[in-house]
Amino acid sequence: MSTEQLHFLKGHGTENDFVIVPDPAGLIDLSAADVARLCDRRAGVGADGLLRVVRSDAHPEGRRMAAGAEWFMDYRNADGSLAEMCGNGVRVFARYLQRAGLVETGDLAVGTRAGMRRVHLAKDGDVTVAMGRAVLAEGPDTDVTVAVGGRSWPARNVGMGNPHAVAFVADLADAGRLYEPPEVTPASAYPAGVNVEFVADRGPRHVAMRVHERGSGETRSCGTGACAVAVATARRDGADPAATGRPETYTVDVPGGRLVVTEHPDGEVEMTGPAVIVAEGDTAPGWL
Which of 45, 86, 194, 228 does the annotation list as catalytic? 86
Which of 54, 144, 184, 222 does the annotation list as catalytic? 222
Is 213 annotated to bind a ligand? Reply is yes
Is 157 annotated to bind a ligand? Reply is no
Is 220 annotated to bind a ligand? Reply is no
d(CA 54, CA 95): 15
Is 128 annotated to bind a ligand? Reply is no
d(CA 190, CA 185): 9
Residue 85: which of 104, 72, 98 has the closest Cα?
Answer: 72
Is 235 annotated to bind a ligand? Reply is no
Residues 6+ apart with CB under 8 A from 67: none
Q: Is 39 a catalytic residue?
A: no
Interior angle at CA 73, CA 67 and CA 78, nearest 5: 165
Is 195 annotated to bind a ligand? Reply is yes
- Within 10 Å of residue 21's Cβ, how many Cβ atoms? 22
Is 244 annotated to bind a ligand? Reply is no
Residues 6+ apart with CB under 8 A from 191: none
Is 214 annotated to bind a ligand? Reply is yes
Is 87 annotated to bind a ligand? Reply is yes
Please check whether residue 49 is in contact with residue 86, taking contact to mean a CB–CB distance below 8 angstroms. Answer: yes
Is 203 annotated to bind a ligand? Reply is no
Question: The dihedral of CA 104, 109, 111, 117: what is its sign?
Answer: positive
d(CA 265, CA 241): 4
Q: Which residues are annotated as a binding site for substrate?
A: 16, 77, 87-88, 162, 195, 213-214, 223-224
Q: Which residues are annotated as a binding site?
A: 16, 77, 87-88, 162, 195, 213-214, 223-224
Active-site residues, by number, are 86, 222
